[in-house]
Amino acid sequence: MVSPLKNELRASYAGRSVSHGRAVGKALHIVGRKRQYFRAEIVESRVENEIARFRAAVTYSAEQLEALIAKPPTPNAADIFDAHLLILESSSFLDAVEEVIRHDLVTAEWATKTVTEKLVSSQRASSDQHLRQKAVDIEDVSERVANALAGGQSPLPPLPPNTVLVATELFPSTLMEFADTPPVAIITERGGWTSHTFILARESGIPAVSGIKRVNRRFDDGDIVIVDGDHGTVTVASEEDLEVSSTGAVDLGAAAFGTWETDDSTEPGFRLYVNVDSTAKVSRAVEKGAAGIGLLRSEYLFPGIKGWPDEERQFQAYKAASEAADGLEVRIRTFDFDLDQVSFGGREPEKNPALGMRAVRLGLARERSFRTQLRAILRANTNGNISIILPMIAGVQDLKQVRSLIDDEFSRLEGVKFPKIGAMIELPSAVLVIDQILKYVDFLSVGTNDLVQYTLGVDRDDEMVSDWYQSLHPAVLRSIQILIESAKKAGKPVSLCGEMAGLPFYIPLLVGLGADEFSIKLSSWSAVRRILRSVEKTQAEEIVRVVKELDTAQAVEEALAAAYRTYWPDLQLART
């Protein structure tokens, strides 16, 4: 255990638990809007390389600005872009960044940020209103250069040992990039239980706390912090605490449900699949005795690559996943990117990316890139164990369009098998027309993380509204039941693959609603197996009969907790 707090002056902050466990480490801020980075020191021999990266980014940014000046989107815009070009090419910016790289031995990203902050604060301190306004333009230019640097896709340096990542919002792709040197904990301001970042953190046993307001001002790089992911708190601590933890006395990343015995027999009547984001996890799922891979989030197979990976790289990755599955089915979901994740340009971010150009919509809008992914998946399907899942299907029109692309690409290939095709059901519209959708697919994957978000209109990544993110809302439960009943009527499999399916608390309810196929993360395997083994279908249906009469999520939750006390008094059933 960490030694008790020695003085009451230690700052402690309350947030929300988004991944269980407890860890002590050194804070390290992650910054950047498009591609995230941190203050990494470089060796002297890398200085010229960083300067070359910076110059290339400046040239690219200047070309972008020149193109905008030549063809301004609005009549006044040319003047603004002219001003930006002047800033970009000024020696107070260019020379200053190069000087910081040379002198401080830091990356081009960090030097750009340092110089920008200095220039902006001196403009903001000016008594001249015109100069004060110029601060915004400097930030804009700096953002453009940062985006161009991100486009260069140089890999992030490894994290130092015992790092606690601190960020307003941490991107899942950033966390994936640290797979070989993972942080011991994560602290953020934004992000909820079903945010991808925290799904990944839980999967890797990294404790995390979200909802710490103004997180960037609370900690300095190097501060020792204790992250308690069980209670959702962060405490600033001492070097001594870190030493105690490195002797192994602190329980790092304890799972919410403890470690239960594993036994690989299959529960009769249920099929248990695994959600994965890497080929290594495919092999581990096979070893556990999974029925297959119920959801491979393909966008995570290529850490460090922003945008659409090339066909060969994708082919190799899908082929490796298919082979690692040892004949079991692998359901590959096509990229569930939003626009921001694939574009580098200095364009305005979408106001509502969750409602914008993302998932299958983005695929249809960028047909050439989408065809590349479809072709790579089809080419990898020589064993016939690959299926395709299409994310964010709103209705039959999306499906018809994608099907025609798949048919077209398939017709040009030889020696490959036609895959099964499934739709992710995440939108209320898809629930309402599920009978129509079922005519065009071989199976359904119910993505409850998004289904809750879109049904209730609650941003799953916005910690502020997390009280309204209610997986037990009667509308969500009715939707799940409609989906399961409709799929069964059509004789097609339906699997539940959101975070709900990985939490034992929801399993009796889902079984009572008719679910018999679940796709869960590896770290939930033992806990879900255990509850599935002890759930009687008739008991579960009885519970559902009761909760279906209830009209609030809170009432449903209380009724479930009461039923569990009766049926499974020994089972430790936490909701999150």
Q: What residues act catalytically?
A: 196, 497
**Distance (Å, rounded) from C-alpha 416 to C-alpha 558?**
51
Q: Which amino acid is at 52?
A: A
Q: Which of 498, 502, 504, 512 binds ligand PEP (CB under 6 A)?
A: 498
Q: Are 529 and 267 in contact (CB under 8 A)?
A: yes
Can residue 470 be called a binding residue for ligand PEP (CB under 6 A)? Answer: no
Q: Which residue is nearest to ligand PEP (CB)?
A: 447
Q: Which of 449, 466, 471, 495 binds ligand PEP (CB under 6 A)?
A: 449
With respect to ligand PEP, which residue has the nearer C-beta, 343 or 449? 449
For the record, the structure tokens of 85 come out as 């070009």
User: Nearest CA to 193 among 567, 498, 560, 438?
Assistant: 498
Q: Which residue has the tokens 């984001």?
A: 277
Can residue 197 be called a binding residue for ligand PEP (CB under 6 A)? Answer: no
Candidate ranges 86-94, 245-253, 445-453, 558-566; the one touching ligand PEP (CB under 6 A): 445-453
Can residue 426 be called a binding residue for ligand PEP (CB under 6 A)? Answer: yes
**Distance (Å, rounded) from C-alpha 546 to C-alpha 69?**
65
Q: Residues 373-412 vs ligand PEP: string with x where CB under 6 A? A: ----------------------------------------
Can residue 182 be called a binding residue for ligand PEP (CB under 6 A)? Answer: no
Can residue 499 be called a binding residue for Mg ion (CB under 5 A)? Answer: no
Candidate ranges 37-45, 365-373, 415-423, 448-456; the one touching ligand PEP (CB under 6 A): 448-456
With respect to Mg ion, which residue has the nearer C-beta, 426 or 517? 426
**Distance (Å, rounded) from C-alpha 185 to C-alpha 228?**
9
| Contacted entry of ligand PEP, Mg ion, none for residue 298, CB cut-off 5 to 8 Å set by kind | none
With respect to ligand PEP, which residue has the nearer C-beta, 233 or 455? 455
Q: What are phi and psi of 457, to 5 degrees?
A: 65, 40
DSSP 161-213: TTEEEEESS--HHHHHHTTTS--SEEEESS--TTSHHHHHHHHTT--EEE--T
Q: What totals of helices (H) and strands (E) does the chain contain, helices first? A: 23, 16
| Contacted entry of ligand PEP, Mg ion, none for residue 297, CB cut-off 5 to 8 Å set by kind | ligand PEP
From the CB of 517, what's the least distance to Mg ion, in Å?
A: 17
- N-to-C CA span, the chain: 23
Q: Are 290 and 268 in contact (CB under 8 A)?
A: no
Can residue 334 be called a binding residue for ligand PEP (CB under 6 A)? Answer: no
**Distance (Å, rounded) from C-alpha 23 to C-alpha 53?**
36
| Contacted entry of ligand PEP, Mg ion, none for residue 448, CB cut-off 5 to 8 Å set by kind | ligand PEP
Can residue 447 be called a binding residue for Mg ion (CB under 5 A)? Answer: yes
Candidate ranges 136-144, 163-171, 273-281, 425-433; the one touching Mg ion (CB under 5 A): 425-433
Q: Which of 297, 306, 473, 521 binds ligand PEP (CB under 6 A)?
A: 297
With respect to ligand PEP, which residue has the nearer C-beta, 449 or 466? 449
DSSP 367-393: HHHHHHHHHHHHHHTTSS-EEEEESS-
Q: Which amino acid is at 346?
A: G
**Beta carbons within 8 Å of 331's beta carbon, 6+ residues apart:** 273, 292, 293, 294, 295, 296, 386, 387, 388, 389, 422, 445, 519
Residue 441 Cα distances to 156, 342, 401, 419, 501, angstroms: 40, 28, 13, 11, 22
C-alpha torsion 535→539→545→549, nearest 10: -70
Can residue 450 be called a binding residue for ligand PEP (CB under 6 A)? Answer: yes
Within 291-320, the residues that bind Mg ion by CB under 5 A are none
With respect to ligand PEP, which residue has the nearer C-beta, 246 or 576? 576
Residue 239 DSSP SS3: helix
Q: Residues 371-410 vs Mg ion: string with x where CB under 5 A? A: ----------------------------------------
Q: Residues 147-176 vs Mg ion: string with x where CB under 5 A? A: ------------------------------
Q: Which of 189, 336, 398, 516 binds ligand PEP (CB under 6 A)?
A: 336
From the CB of 295, what's the least distance to ligand PEP, in Å?
A: 6
| Contacted entry of Mg ion, ligand PEP, none for residue 497, CB cut-off 5 to 8 Å set by kind | ligand PEP
Can residue 177 be called a binding residue for ligand PEP (CB under 6 A)? Answer: no
**Distance (Å, rounded) from C-alpha 261 to C-alpha 288?**
12
**Distance (Å, rounded) from C-alpha 400 to C-alpha 547?**
37
From the CB of 303, what's the least distance to ligand PEP, in Å?
A: 16
With respect to ligand PEP, which residue has the nearer C-beta, 189 or 461? 461
From the CB of 519, what's the least distance to Mg ion, in Å?
A: 12
From the CB of 336, what's the least distance to ligand PEP, in Å?
A: 6
Can residue 497 be called a binding residue for ligand PEP (CB under 6 A)? Answer: yes
From the CB of 498, what's the least distance to ligand PEP, in Å?
A: 3
Residue 131 Cα distances to 82, 86, 134, 243, angstroms: 16, 14, 5, 49
Q: Which amino acid is at 271?
A: R
Can residue 450 be called a binding residue for Mg ion (CB under 5 A)? Answer: yes
Q: Which amino acid is at 284?
A: R
From the CB of 289, what's the least distance to ligand PEP, in Å?
A: 22
For the record, the structure tokens of 521 come out as 């993360």
Binding positions for Mg ion, rule: CB under 5 A: 426, 447, 450
Point out which residues bind ligand PEP (CB under 6 A): 295, 297, 336, 426, 447-450, 497-498
